[in-house]
Amino acid sequence: MTAYPHLMQPLPLGHVTLKNRVLMGSMHTGLEERGDWNRVAEFYATRARGGVALMVTGGMAPNREGGVFPGAAGLYTAQDIADHRIVTERVHAAGGLIAMQILHAGRYAYGKDCVSASAIKSPISPFVPRELDEEGIEKQIADIATAAKRAREAGYDGVEVMGSEGYFLNQFLVAHVNHRSDRWGGSDENRMRLPIEVVRRVRAAVGPDFILIYRISLIDLIPTGQTWEQIATLARAIEGAGATILNSGIGWHEARVPTIATSVPRAAFVDLTARLRTEVTIPVIASNRINTPEVAESILSAGNADMVSMARPFLADPDFVAKAASGRAREIAPCIACNQACLDHTFSGKLSSCLVNPRACHEVELEYPATDAPKTIAVVGAGPAGMTAAIVAAQRGHRVMLFEAGAQVGGQLNLARRVPGKEEFNGLVEWFSTMLSVSGVEVRLNTRADVETLRGFDVVVIATGVTPRDPGIPGQERALGYVDVLRGAPVGPRVAVIGAGGIGFDVSEFLVHAGDSPTEHPALWRAEWGVGDPATSAGGLADPAPSAPARQVWLLQRKPEKPGRHLGKTTGWIHRAALAAKGVRMIGGVSYDRIAADGLHVTRDGVPEVIAVDSVILAAGQVPDRALADELIAAGLTPHVIGGADVAAELDAKRAIDQAARLSAQL
């Protein structure tokens, strides 16, 4: 008897029955553009072997003008079809099903040839789109239908037509982007004509025995977005035009409301999917911030959806479904929704991967084969680097002992988990603990390893992490360290934080909140960000009503630039907006003169000033803790040094875990 009966139930879709209720949602990995089709095939086949019922590929452009960026992958030539066939055949051999997403970016296409309903630039693109004429619209429809037909030729089991997130089809639906007065604009009926016609023509191109997923925007989260009545009318028409199943789309990319970041409550938008389910007779898929089998099961058992879509969780763990099905859910590596190695990479032109699973998209080149020469390995420090090194080495068959001076494993992750909006780190620490135990690592807590302890091991890995940097500010003995603050040291009502890196932002977030974390209270979170109901306000926007800050915070840095510029590419704006909503003053170009009883003395633009605060907190970065590594080297040993103990600058868990995994893959 499975713990997740609804999740594991097959879903009949007419000509085909899905083996369970889990869809791997579309993700752009960057693999297709690199042209290594063996690698693309292995990425998807690995996930098919892991038991997911149906996967959707990253978005494929139907034509050059619709590609998200110049050179975006699409199915244009016989060679393209042959390349994609490598993927579909490998997936089918692994027992999976796969649909190709057709993504026309419209005005979000990053190039001067982009097209849309009207020549209105999006706030997140420098390019003004060309307004399509009647002939141009017909070409786009034909290209999308042709892409679907080619997907079938390439062996795909279906297509997903991307109709949400502010892309091309979504653009026609909304009055402020669609100013047309012909049969493609003006009335609701006219604005809906394009997506409906696209679905009708795609269905005609692929025939009845082919899955057609339509991703519909359930809440645009932009001013003058669609109303629920319009969305429901469109959903019924899309069903009538031949869609097999509807997937949920949440928010345009230009929306100023986070929709998938870690601070978004789990399953925050599922009520809208539940409402959609009452409007149509075809199955509907819930999406966004679903990352555990428990959450997925609760959505299905409550009747809120027929299927759940998870995308990033399949980067974190390709075996999500198999583990859930076999009573090993605790072993599922959790996606913490950080975006650090997936979306942040995508938007920097890098290959996607995953912070918790460096093998994601590197399946072919990073492997953890069983060793034929087991060694005794000591790992010192149970932060993300040390725990990963220990787990991977033990999984490969080495005998591993992990030494930790503290009373618990987790290292800096134990600080992150205290920050409101970072609750997902709890699950990550739990997962590491589980995997240490499952893989047979011997963990020695409250144990400070020394040269003598380590001398007898075949291999020593030092992952002793970092210590806070001493900024050398006169009077700093009056200040608190960020570690103490996050562990609960008392802080006054007016606070200056020295250092506006990731930790300065985290500490500030910690300080402005009192009581419940909005991430754990969806109603509170909606109020903070101004998420309303599309049934009562177009686009589903309401006036943000953030709760009063618990403290007045100044967040400072010396660099004369906007604080937070170097935070995550896709999440930095969320951190800045969240603190701005709490009245945090984020100031760059400050030099610190001294800390005194009356506050923090600084100089700004050559002018001395006193920031009158009760507490000053140091978050001025870190330096490597290499003491033990240096002792070992002096004693003639040759330890491997990883994580913050190796290089502290710009260290994050992503780099620590990746470095540790790659080391242990070779021991």
Among 42, 220, 404, 506, binds ligand NAP (CB under 6 A): 506
Which is it for strands 599-604 and 590-596: parallel, antiparallel or unpaired? antiparallel
The one-letter amino acid code at 47 reads: R
CA separation for the pair 487, 417 (Å, rounded): 11
CA separation for the pair 606, 95 (Å, rounded): 68
Binds 211: which of ligand SF4, ligand NAP, none (CB < 5-8 Å by kind): none
Angle at 35 between CA 31 and CA 38, to 5 degrees: 75
CA separation for the pair 7, 22 (Å, rounded): 7
Asked if residues 584 and 556 have their Cβ atoms less than 8 Å apart, the reply is: no
Positions of E strands within 117-164: 130-131, 158-163
Binds 337: which of ligand NAP, ligand SF4, none (CB < 5-8 Å by kind): ligand SF4
Positions of E strands within 138-288: 158-163, 211-219, 245-250, 284-286
Binds 656: which of ligand NAP, ligand SF4, none (CB < 5-8 Å by kind): none
CA separation for the pair 222, 255 (Å, rounded): 6
Fill in the per-residue mask, 461 to 500: x = in contact with ligand NAP (CB under 6 A), - = not in contact.
--------x-x--------------------------xxx
Per DSSP, the three-state class of 100 is strand
What b/e sequence results for 573-595 when a residue is b if at least 16 CB atoms lie within 10 Å of its CB, and e otherwise?
A: ebbbbbbebbebebbbebebbeb
Binds 163: which of ligand SF4, ligand NAP, none (CB < 5-8 Å by kind): none
Q: Is 622 in the site for ligand NAP (CB under 6 A)?
A: yes
Q: How far is the CB of 57 from ligand SF4 (least distance, A)?
A: 17
Q: How far is the CB of 599 from ligand SF4 (least distance, A)?
A: 38
Contact window for ligand SF4 (CB under 6 A) among 309-317, 407-415, 553-561, 608-616: 309-317
Run of H or E including 131: strand 130-131
Binds 652: which of ligand SF4, ligand NAP, none (CB < 5-8 Å by kind): ligand NAP
Q: Given 167, 214, 482, 592, which residue is catalytic?
A: 167
Q: Is 650 in the site for ligand NAP (CB under 6 A)?
A: yes
Q: Which C-beta is closer to ligand NAP: that of 283 or that of 502?
A: 502
Contact window for ligand NAP (CB under 6 A) among 38-46, 394-402, 502-510, 599-607: 502-510
What b/e sequence results for 400-418 when a residue is b if at least 16 CB atoms lie within 10 Å of its CB, and e otherwise?
A: bbbbbeeeebbbbbbbbbb
CA count, 13 A, side-chain hemisphere, 429: 18
Q: How far is the CB of 564 from ligand SF4 (least distance, A)?
A: 19
Q: Is 129 in the site for ligand NAP (CB under 6 A)?
A: no
Contact window for ligand SF4 (CB under 6 A) among 46-54, 91-99, 105-113, 349-357: 349-357
Residues 313-342 that bind ligand SF4 (CB under 6 A): 315-316, 335-342
Does 44 qualify as catalytic in the annotation? no
Query: 611 has which bridge partners?
Result: 600
Among 144, 234, 541, 620, binds ligand NAP (CB under 6 A): 620
Catalytic residues, by residue number, are 167
Residues that bind ligand NAP (CB under 6 A): 469, 471, 498-504, 506, 557-559, 567-568, 619-622, 650-652
